[in-house]
Amino acid sequence: MDYLLTEEQQMLQDLARQIAEERIKPVRAELDEQETFPWDIIKDLAQADLCGTIIPEAYGGLGMGCMENVLVLEALAAGCVGVATTYAASFLGAYPLLLYGSEDQKQKYLPALARGEALAAFALTEAQAGSDAGGVATTAAKDGDHYVLNGTKQWITNAGEAEINTVIALTDKAKGARGASAFVVEKGDPGVSFGKKEKKMGIRASVTREIVLEDVRLPQDRLLGREGLGFMLTMRTLDLARPGVGALAVGLAQSALDEAAAFAKERHQFDQPVIAFQAVQHLLADMATKLEAARALVYAVARHIDSGAKDYTKAAAMAKLFSSDMAMQVTVDAVQVMGGHGYMREYPVEKMMRDAKILQIFEGTNQIMRNVIGLALNKEYSRKK
Ligand SMILES: Cc1cc2nc3c(=O)[nH]c(=O)nc-3n(C[C@H](O)[C@H](O)[C@H](O)COP(=O)(O)OP(=O)(O)OC[C@H]3O[C@@H](n4cnc5c(N)ncnc54)[C@H](O)[C@@H]3O)c2cc1C
């Protein structure tokens, strides 16, 4: 379908697709098997000037919007969701700086991200604070003109590799979520250490670690925005990032459909290609239809955000929810279309099915997405007579 992309968007998409084809696909199985962090590919992306798409030109980026971001994410995820997650998580860590950073903070941190010399991470989750982000227990106690951070963040994508970590911590424990604030914690700050690499089901090229903060003394200029903004900053960051998860799902599902259809054309049973069986065609038809619907939704939400819309919480949650559920179903069906071959690691759909699962879990589970959408609908319909 023609989504009326501008010439610039098409060029960007072509470039990201080329990197996915030439640099990611040939090594994705190995990255997954060896659980290797994809620094070489990050360097390729930096060289292609793709690390600063959403960073304003004033800080060395391309100053592009959400639509361009989803196009790149979709293309990279068609190569490997583990690699694409690494790239996307860096923007997740950068959004708080873009949204709430002071001029000095932006000047200090954004150019290195735009050049791809540094990665970022976003650290919200803790052992007792998963879906319930208000349960964060990490503290940032004021001590003269410093803050002292203590606590442990769990399952943080890019942790240990990222130079720049946005960390949510309580500056006022008594206020709960309203007492949360956001800080920039540098990888080398004294008192910062990282846990072991988690062993994951999928996206194994991406890295997930704990961030341990022990008496980490930060000057005041590491606070993003002001005290008490941490929860709002988190919600606004996730609203911007969720269409990106939708884009990862679309790229992944496209790749799974391509693999399954190509296989079904070649595989013969009962003297005919299995794609000739209507049962297989119906599987493929459902996969293709749901995929296109998800793509249209992700693009529509991205364009809605770029139009300057003030409230896109519900739309962003819908894009994440629908697309990630779609990708899970499509990858399961891709394995089905390929039968036993699909179950073998030799074929990429086995990895795709494992990779799809996380898209229903991180950046808010799909149960939480339904809560967010339901809450918004309740508000909307309560206002109507
Ligand atoms: C690979 C990976 C990478 C991650 N990367 C990051 C990262 O970079 N930064 C970061 O901060 N976090 C990260 N996370 C954490 C992730 O965001 C959380 O895992 C996710 O938000 C869910 O929290 P939880 O796992 O504690 O599940 P829980 O909150 O314990 O939920 C368990 C189950 O209960 C359901 N549930 C919980 N509350 C409700 C409710 N109110 N209504 C309905 N159902 C509910 C959930 O949907 C889920 O099915 C990552 C996680 C993984 C696995």
Average the pLDDT over 229-243 and give the result. Answer: 97
pLDDT at position 372 is 98
Contact between residue 228 and residue 180 where contact means Cβ atoms under 8 Å apart: yes
Average the pLDDT over 93-111 and give the result. Answer: 98
How far does the centroid of ligand 1 lie from the alpha carbon of residue 199, in Å? 17
192: pLDDT strictly greater than 80: yes
Average the pLDDT over 21-35 and give the result. Answer: 98
Q: Is 156 in the pocket of ligand 1 (CB under 6 A)?
A: yes
How far does the centroid of ligand 1 lie from the alpha carbon of residue 130, in Å? 5
Q: Is 131 in the pocket of ligand 1 (CB under 6 A)?
A: yes
Q: Is 124 in the pocket of ligand 1 (CB under 6 A)?
A: yes
Which atom of ligand 1 is closest in space to residue 153's alpha carbon? 11
222: pLDDT strictly greater than 90: yes
227 — pLDDT class (breaks 50, 70, 90): very high
How far does the centroid of ligand 1 lie from the alpha carbon of residue 361, in Å? 6
Average the pLDDT over 287-304 and give the result. Answer: 98
Which atom of ligand 1 is closest in space to residue 157's alpha carbon? 8
Q: How far is CA 381 from the centre of its chain?
A: 31
Q: How far is Cα 353 from Cα 1, in angstroms, rounded to an integer?
A: 25
Name the percent of the chain lying above pLDDT 90.
98
360: pLDDT strictly greater than 80: yes
Q: Is 47 in the pocket of ligand 1 (CB under 6 A)?
A: no
pLDDT at position 384 is 83
How far does the centroid of ligand 1 lie from the alpha carbon of residue 131, in Å? 5
Average the pLDDT over 62-91 and give the result. Answer: 98
Pocket test for ligand 1, best of 211, 365, 369, 373 (most atoms within 8 A of CB): 365
177 — pLDDT class (breaks 50, 70, 90): confident
How far does the centroid of ligand 1 lie from the alpha carbon of residue 160, in Å? 20
Encoded tokens for 274: 């299995």
Average the pLDDT over 130-141 and give the result. Answer: 95
- For the stretch 200-213, pLDDT in tens is 999 999 999 999 99
pLDDT at position 100 is 98
Q: Is 152 in the pocket of ligand 1 (CB under 6 A)?
A: no
pLDDT at position 106 is 98
Closest residue CA from atom 31 of ligand 1: 131
Average the pLDDT over 9-38 and give the result. Answer: 98
Q: Is 200 in the pocket of ligand 1 (CB under 6 A)?
A: yes
Which atom of ligand 1 is closest in space to residue 123's alpha carbon? 11
Three-state helix/strand/coil letters over the chain: CCCCCCHHHHHHHHHHHHHHHHHHHHHHHHHHHHCCCCHHHHHHHHHCCCCCCCCCHHHCCCCCCHHHHHHHHHHHHHHCHHHHHHHHHHHHHHHHHHHHCCHHHHHHHHHHHHCCCCCEEEECCECCECCCHHHCCCEEEEECCEEEEEEEEEEEECCCCCCEEEEEEECCHHHHHHHEEEEEEECCCCCEEECCCCCCCCCCCCCEEEEEEEEEEEEHHHEECCCCCHHHHHHHHHHHHHHHHHHHHHHHHHHHHHHHHHHHHHCEECCEEHHHCHHHHHHHHHHHHHHHHHHHHHHHHHHHHHCCCCCCHHHHHHHHHHHHHHHHHHHHHHHHHHCHHHHCCCCHHHHHHHHHHHHCCCCCCHHHHHHHHHHHHHHHHHHCC
Which atom of ligand 1 is closest in space to residue 200's alpha carbon? 1
85: pLDDT strictly greater than 90: yes
385: pLDDT strictly greater than 80: no
pLDDT at position 92 is 98
280: pLDDT strictly greater than 90: yes
Q: Which residues contact 129 (CB under 8 A, 6 or more apart)?
A: 135, 136, 137
Average the pLDDT over 289-296 and give the result. Answer: 98
Q: Is 128 in the pocket of ligand 1 (CB under 6 A)?
A: no
Instruction: Write out the catalytic residue numbers.
Output: 363
Average the pLDDT over 220-231 and give the result. Answer: 97
226 — pLDDT class (breaks 50, 70, 90): very high
How far does the centroid of ligand 1 lie from the alpha carbon of residue 283, in Å? 30
- For the stretch 300-315, pLDDT in tens is 999 999 999 999 999 9
Average the pLDDT over 4-21 and give the result. Answer: 98
Which atom of ligand 1 is closest in space to residue 198's alpha carbon? 1
Look over the chain and give the mean of its residue pLDDT values, rounded to a whole number: 97
